[in-house]
Amino acid sequence: MSPSTRLDKRIAELVPCSRAEAQQYIEGGWVLVDGKVVEEPQAQVATQKVELAAGAHLGKIEPATMLLHKPAGVESADAASLVTPATHTGGDDPDIRMLKRHFHRLVPLMPLDAEASGLLVLTQDGRVRRRLTEDQALIEQEFVVEVAGDIAPYGMARLASGLHYLGRALPPCKVSWQNETRLRFAIKAVQPGQLRHMCREVGLDAVSIRRLRIGRIPLGRMPVGEWRYLPVGERF
């Protein structure tokens, strides 16, 4: 039986390169063992075929940011469990390589109410985290709200400006009818429960709420429960 050795040591001998560089190749998803990607430098290999993938290069592995179409009934804090290789919707920039490390320590930002659906951001990237926390009140979000009931007189004007929530006056927002039963809101600094409260204040019941956009990033046609990467170079 052939003795086994660490994968990073085998790559360092194969390329050749330093052990640190070998670890970068492996963690970057560039190393194949018997034709399958292995991302653990400490993995043991013996007689298996070890090779670098075509186009392999050294470079910093950027933290990942995922855009999820959160289903209704899921708490935002639990949404990371939905982000798996099996629920990837595809269509990403071909330069993005899906790595195991992308699914670790994902933080949900700008959370949605549990009963709401739509665009939710989960990230490992401190830059994205700062942007969506420190500047949250400045970033416009777009929602579509399905409603039931008859709107009160001057209800649209009141939705746009003049309502209060949790003892504070709400800033103006943009609101319009998408059709006979759906309202479209473009709104900043929205708080948990706020949209339902606003609808109740003008005689409407919010049947469902879906977030379509955060800043410049749209939900698009992504199916419920699936996710994609934040496009390279895109900003909220």
Instruction: Say if 201 falls within a structural domain.
Output: yes
Same domain, 174 and 128: no
pLDDT of residue 95: 79
Same domain, 153 and 122: no
Instruction: Say if 17 falls within a structural domain.
Output: yes
**CATH code where residue 11 lies:** 3.10.290.10
| Number of domains comprising the chain | 3
Same domain, 98 and 120: yes
pLDDT of residue 169: 95
Q: Domain limits at 147? A: 140-214
Buried b / exposed e over 93-115, threshold 16 CB at 10 Å, is eeeeeeeeebbeebbbbbebbee
Phi and psi at 79, nearest 5°, equal: -70, -25
Same domain, 127 and 154: no
Same domain, 75 and 132: yes
Instruction: Say if 236 falls within a structural domain.
Output: no
Same domain, 156 and 207: yes
pLDDT of residue 1: 57
Whole-angstrom Cα distance, residue 34 to residue 182? 54
Instruction: Say if 58 falls within a structural domain.
Output: no
| Token pair belonging to 107 | 């933080």
Same domain, 130 and 78: yes
Instruction: Say if 235 falls within a structural domain.
Output: no
**CATH code where residue 85 lies:** 3.30.70.580
Q: Which residue has the tokens 């006979």?
A: 180
For the stretch 50-94, pLDDT in tens is 999 998 999 888 899 999 999 999 999 999 999 999 999 988 888
Same domain, 47 and 99: no
Same domain, 181 and 158: yes
pLDDT of residue 162: 87
Q: What does the DSSP 8-state code read for residue 129?
A: H
pLDDT of residue 140: 98
Count other Cβ atoms within 10 Å, centred on residue 55: 7
Same domain, 110 and 224: yes
Instruction: Say if 127 falls within a structural domain.
Output: yes
Phi and psi at 228, nearest 5°, equal: -140, 165
Same domain, 74 and 25: no
**CATH code where residue 164 lies:** 3.30.70.1560
Residues of the chain where predicted confidence (pLDDT) is lower than 70? 1-2
pLDDT of residue 177: 97
Whole-angstrom Cα distance, residue 128 to residue 236? 9
Same domain, 99 and 200: no
pLDDT of residue 97: 87
